[in-house]
Structure 1
Amino acid sequence: MVTVAEKVKNLIARLGRPGPYDVNVGDLGVAGLAGRVYVPVSGTGGAARIGRRGRASVPGLVFGHDWKTGVDAYDGTLRHLASWGIAVAAPDTERGLLPDHRGFAADLESALQILTGVKLGTGNVVVDPARLYLSGHGMGAGAAVLAATGRVAADPAEKVAKAGKAAKAGPETPTLAGVISVYPSDTTPSCYQAARQVEAAGLVLGAGKAGAVPAGNARRLAANWRGPVVYRTIDRGAPAGLPEPLLRKALVGGSGPQFAVQSLIRALMVGFIAGDGAVDTTDAKACRVLRDAGTSVPATTTQTRRELIESLPEFGDITSALQQAVLKR
């Protein structure tokens, strides 16, 4: 009999391999924003939901890059997501020494609007506005949280965009199904403060190894999250481990090749989206366990929100006060 641990291990291995879709890469600049767009096209996947006009409706994700890192550095990761039936837009802005984090967050929001406002591929692919996700690495992870504060939580399991919470919010209120934050960095304004306003579900991944360049605090980000959140430490992950150029890893992040770590992160990203019902793969039901903070995933360490709060000094007084209140009852 296959144990739960073996099932999760096998699931991560499957999700870490390319999905069933072919991928077309386009220029986001055509829509007025520097960057790239990755579109799932022909394939045997089930992410696409065919509408009345014969157009395939797919989930959409916007990805933000790290400081001094362009979209090129994430080509493999973005192609991987698209191969699982997820349309991906990646702005290539704010690459300077002193980036504007608020401006980058605005670019991520613009990319979301572009995804839902145009027909992709040869015109037969559209993005479902009820299945939108923000994500990023480092600086981009923090900016994604800033951008998420402007949207209310959506229910991507609904078959139409105006159903569920999206309908309650009103037709003009933009919605968001989730946020994926990989090794988040500090931002101005603070992404930690912003996380307290994010209603959408979150997946926050922290690095198990220290980098050569000071990074942010993924635990603090997850502890401050307003909506449901899953936090995992990638045990062998380094802050600069997600970008693909090896030279940059060595010079900036003090990290060598991390192919296995990259595969793990990609699998967790796909699993987070598929487990929410946004991708109708045969593994969708199995992926639900990856959205449970209590599920053990190989090569990661999970902490509950309570454990995160207790580990951070700024919550110390609050925890102590609650304990005293319980003792006095």
Structure 2
Amino acid sequence: MASKPKELLEELSHPGPHEVLRGNLALVGLPGVVFTPRKGLNLPAIAFGHGWLQPPGRYRDLLRHLASWGIVTAAPATQRGPLPSHRIFAADLRSTLELITGVRLGPDGISVDPAKLGLAGHSTGGGAAVLAAAGADEPKVRAVATITAAQTIPPATEAARALTIPGLHLAAEQDLVAPAVGHARAIADAWGGPVQLRTLGKSTHLAVTEGKHWSQLLLHGKPHYGTQRLVRALFTAFFLTHLTGTDQYRPLLDSDVKKATIEFDSSLDPNAA
């Protein structure tokens, strides 16, 4: 098994061993999509928050990728208008976790372990994920990862102070929509637990998104395969480490990799939380 950071990055940037199924989250009570491994019991799971004006379909490959590594991944399709409520979106992310832990999913009835839950998101969805984690009494959330996180109302920075769980925040070097200093960096600086901030080189606010969408007329940036590859690998390593307890992929989290420089790291050891 690969152990060097570069080898782990290569391994985790490719799809995992699980066949993936796509489902409609509306079938269990909320509009959106859910990707699951075909089989498995007591699986880890995350709820993913989309960015401003973005449909969940723009993250399809990322969500599918995480599911191929054994992580159930659901993305609600709510609060997609120009004036979304970040507070309600955070509540929808928490509801998503409750829904996927409360029912069997897929034709073979896979299940999610309520002790292995995480949150993730892009842009305002990243900020909403922070709000959701801070406001989640049940089910408990064990880790949060964001990409080009944006500030929210109420402030994600204030919510971050209350979080003692591990956090991973990826900022984009060329982000003109939510520049790192006032957004991802500020959230990471305020984080109450172990946290890591990385800067993705030559990356923009929309680099993680997939395909074309009319919002690109309003927002700076466009899809970028190199960024998508890095996000897939780092998110996979982060959630497998902190939701399943494996240390197999920790060397990738602990190391700089090309175009994903660690700006600071207050230790992503879950025992430090």
In the alignment, what sits opposite 2:162?
197
2:233 is aligned with 1:267: yes
Partner Cα distance (2:223, 2:145) in 1: 23
Structure 1 residues 74, 135: CA separation in 2 closer, same or farther (over 3 Å shift)?
A: same
Partner Cα distance (2:215, 2:259) in 1: 20
- Matching residue's letter, 2:110: V
Q: Displacement of 1:145 after TM fit? A: 0.3
2:256 is aligned with 1:290: no
Tell me the secondary structure at the aligned position of residue 175 of structure 1: coil
In the alignment, what sits opposite 2:186?
220
Q: Displacement of 1:182 after TM fit? A: 0.9
In the alignment, what sits opposite 1:184?
149
- Is this contact kept in 2: 1:249–1:256, CA < 8 A? no
Partner Cα distance (2:77, 2:175) in 1: 26
Partner Cα distance (1:248, 1:258) in 2: 17
In the alignment, what sits opposite 2:99?
114
Gaps of 5+ in 1: 43-47, 49-55, 153-172, 307-329
Partner Cα distance (1:217, 1:72) in 2: 24
In the alignment, what sits opposite 1:41?
38
- Matching residue's letter, 2:241: G
Q: Displacement of 1:210 after TM fit? A: 2.7
2:262 is aligned with 1:302: yes
- Is this contact kept in 2: 1:241–1:257, CA < 8 A? yes
Q: Displacement of 1:305 after TM fit? A: 5.6
- Pick from 131, 140, 150: which aligns with 1:146? 131
- Is this contact kept in 2: 1:240–1:249, CA < 8 A? no
Partner Cα distance (1:226, 1:248) in 2: 37
- Is this contact kept in 2: 1:275–1:289, CA < 8 A? no
Q: Displacement of 1:122 after TM fit? A: 1.8
Name the stretch that deviates more: 268-277 or 296-305. Answer: 296-305
Q: Normalised by the size of structure 1, how large is the TM-score?
A: 0.75
Tell me the secondary structure at the aligned position of residue 176 of structure 1: coil
Larger Rg: 1
- Is this contact kept in 2: 1:136–1:142, CA < 8 A? yes
In the alignment, what sits opposite 2:175?
210
Give the 5 Å matches for 1:1-329: 7-42=4-39, 48=40, 56-151=41-136, 173-211=138-176, 213-215=177-179, 217-248=183-214, 250-276=216-242, 278=244, 284-292=246-254, 295-304=255-264
Partner Cα distance (1:223, 1:214) in 2: 16
User: % of aligned pairs identical?
Assistant: 40
Structure 1 residues 29, 83: CA separation in 2 closer, same or farther (over 3 Å shift)?
A: same
Structure 1 residues 34, 266: CA separation in 2 closer, same or farther (over 3 Å shift)?
A: same
Q: Looking at both structures, which has the greater relative contact order when contacts are Cα pairs under 8 Å and sequence separation is at least 6?
A: 2
Cα displacement string for residues 80-128 of structure 1 (whole angstroms, at most 9, x for unaligned residues): 1111111111000001010010000000000010011010112431001
Cα displacement string for residues 102-161 of structure 1 (whole angstroms, at most 9, x for unaligned residues): 000000000010011010112431001111000000010000000001236xxxxxxxxx
Structure 1 residues 214, 276: CA separation in 2 closer, same or farther (over 3 Å shift)?
A: closer
Kindly report structure 1 stretches of 4+ aligned residues shifted beyond 3 Å.
Answer: 213-216, 246-250
Q: Normalised by the size of structure 2, how large is the TM-score?
A: 0.90
- Is this contact kept in 2: 1:60–1:86, CA < 8 A? yes
Gaps of 5+ in 2: 267-273
- Matching residue's letter, 2:7: N
- Matching residue's letter, 2:250: R
In the alignment, what sits opposite 2:271?
none
Tell me the secondary structure at the aligned position of residue 232 of structure 1: strand
Partner Cα distance (1:221, 1:61) in 2: 20
Name the stretch that deviates more: 245-254 or 8-17. Answer: 245-254
Cα displacement string for residues 150-208 of structure 1 (whole angstroms, at most 9, x for unaligned residues): 236xxxxxxxxxxxxxxxxxxxx531110011111111000011100112110111111
Query: Number of paired residues?
Result: 263
Structure 1 residues 240, 277: CA separation in 2 closer, same or farther (over 3 Å shift)?
A: closer
Partner Cα distance (1:226, 1:291) in 2: 19
Tell me the secondary structure at the aligned position of residue 57 of structure 2: helix
Structure 1 residues 248, 264: CA separation in 2 closer, same or farther (over 3 Å shift)?
A: farther
- Matching residue's letter, 1:220: A
